[in-house]
Amino acid sequence: MKFELSSKNIEEIAADFELIFIQNKNIKNLKEYKNFFDLNNYKGEGLCIDLHNKKLFIELKSLNYEDIRKSFYEAYKCLEKLNIKTIKTPSIIGECVVRSFASLVEGIIFATYKFDKYKSEKNQSNIKKIIIAKNDINGKKFNQNEAKIGITRGDILANATNFTKNIVNEFPEFYTPLRMAEDAKNLAKSNKNITCKIYDEKFLVKEKMNAFLAVNRSSIHPPRLIHLSYKHKNAKKRIVFVGKGLTYDSGGLSLKPSDYMVTMKADKSGAAAAMGIIKAIAELELEFEVHCIIGATENMIGGNSYKPDDILISREGVSIEVRNTDAEGRLVLADCLSFAQDLKPDLLIDLATLTGACVVGLGEYTSAIMGNNEDLQNEFYISSKKSGEYTTILHFNPYLKELIKSNIADVCNVSSSRYGGAITAGLFLDKFIRKEYKDKWLHLDIAGPAYIEKNWGYMNFGASGAGVRMCVNFLIHLLRKNK
C-alpha cells in the first residue's frame, strides 16, 4: 500500500473514493446529504456508503489514536472489494501529529493483512494508494515533516507486526526451529544493519543450557539458539529482548488435551515478536544497541522425554524440580535469560506466551507486565497505552514465592497452588535474573492477545503480532525522554 501526503485540500484531489468522518454523530453540517441520510436511516453511527457519489461516511468516536486506527481499518474493509484504486482522506490530528499519522497508516495496513497463502482462492483488493489531504477535519494546522515521520513510522511498525503475524500463523510441520533460524538469517540478509548468529545443540551442551535441552529432547527437530543484533553508531543504551520460540508445544509427558493442543503453533509468538521488534528498530534506525535472544524448540513426547520428577541444572546454576513438563516455556527462557545477561543489558525484556492463567485473569486481549522495578513497569504501561496494545501490571507478591519452593531443588517449575499462575511463572523467571539486573528486567506475558481465533478490533483471525508495537514505542519513548 502506498501513502501519499498531498499538499492539496481534499476537494482538489482526484481519487476514486472519498472518506468523510463523522464526529460526535454530528451530521447536521452535511445538509446536502440530509435526504440521503434519511433514506438510509443514518444517524452518524458506524458506516454509510454512497456508491453514486463515491463517498464513505465513517463514524470517528474520538481523536484517540486507537479510534483513528479503528476508523481507517473499518473504512478500508468496507471498500476493499470495490473496483477502485485510490482513496482520498482528510488528515486527522489527535494529541501528537506523528502518532496520529502513524495510527492512520497502521489502521489501513492492518486492514490489508491476510494469511491466505494456503487457500486455493485468494481475493486481492485493487486499492493501491491512500492520498492524505493537507486539511485536518477540525482545521488544525500541523507540521508536514512530522506527518511524514508518522507515515513512515506507521508503515514500518504495521509491516513489522504483520511480519510477526506471518511467523506465528505458520503451521508446525513446516515451521520448525530450523525454519525459524532460516527466517532470522533472511531477516539479517534483508537489512544490512542486522546481524545474525545461529547456535546448534552442541553449543547448548557446551553452555550447559540443560533446561532448554531437556525440553527439546523428544523432538526430531534440533533446537536453535538465535542471536540477532543491531547497533546504531550513536547507541544510547543496550537493550536485550528474549523470545520464547516453542514452534510447537504438545505438553510433553504432561500431555495437553487435544482441544488445548490446537493453536499451540502460536507458542512461538514471543520469538516472532522479538524478530519483528528488531526489524522495526533497524528500519527506524533508533539510537540503540539491540539484541534478540530466541530459544527455538519443540516440546514433544517420546521415550526419551524429560519427565515430571526430573531435576535440571540450568545454565545459571539454579536447580529446577520438574513437576509438569507442560510448564516448558519458562525452562527455555531460564537458560536464554542467563545467556542474555552475559550481554550486560541496560534493559532486559522477555516476551512469551507463558501461561493460560494470564488469559484467565486478564482476558484474551491484554498482556501482563511483570518485574521488580515498579517505576519501570509503570513507565512501560503508560507508553504501551499509546501503542494500541492493551496491557496491565501484575505485581509480584512475596507470599506467592512460597508456592514455587521445592524440597529437593532450588525452585519448582510449577506452583503448588492453582491460583496466581501468571505471577508465579514470572517469579520463577525472577530466580534466574542476577541481582544487578533485577531492576532492569521486564517480563511480558502475551498469552492472551498473541493468537485469537476470531476477528477483534482491527486484528483479523489468528496472530496479532502482540508485543511489537508496545516494545518499539517504549524505546521511542526512552529516546525522547533522554533528549
- State the catalytic residues: 256, 330
| DSSP 8-class letter at 236 | -
Name residues whose C-beta falls within 8 Å of residue 197's C-beta, 6 or more positions apart in sequence: 226, 227, 229
**Residue 81, CA distances (Å) to 75, 77, 100, 112, 400 in order:** 12, 8, 26, 11, 53
Q: Is the dihedral of CA 480, 467, 327, 404 positive or negative?
A: positive
| Residue 445 near residue 352, CB atoms below 8 Å | yes
DSSP of 54-66:
TEEEEEE--SSHH
Name residues whose C-beta falls within 8 Å of residue 342's C-beta, 6 or more positions apart in sequence: none
CA-based end-to-end distance of the chain: 33
- The amino acid occupying position 322 is V
Residue carrying the nine cell digits 456508503:
49
Chain length of the chain: 483
- In 245-321, which ranges are continuous DSSP H helix? 258-261, 269-284
Beta strands in 146-237 (DSSP E): 194-199, 224-231
Name residues whose C-beta falls within 8 Å of residue 299's C-beta, 6 or more positions apart in sequence: 215, 216, 218, 219, 246, 248, 249, 250, 251, 252, 325, 326, 328
C-alpha count within 13 angstroms, C-beta hemisphere, residue 163: 24
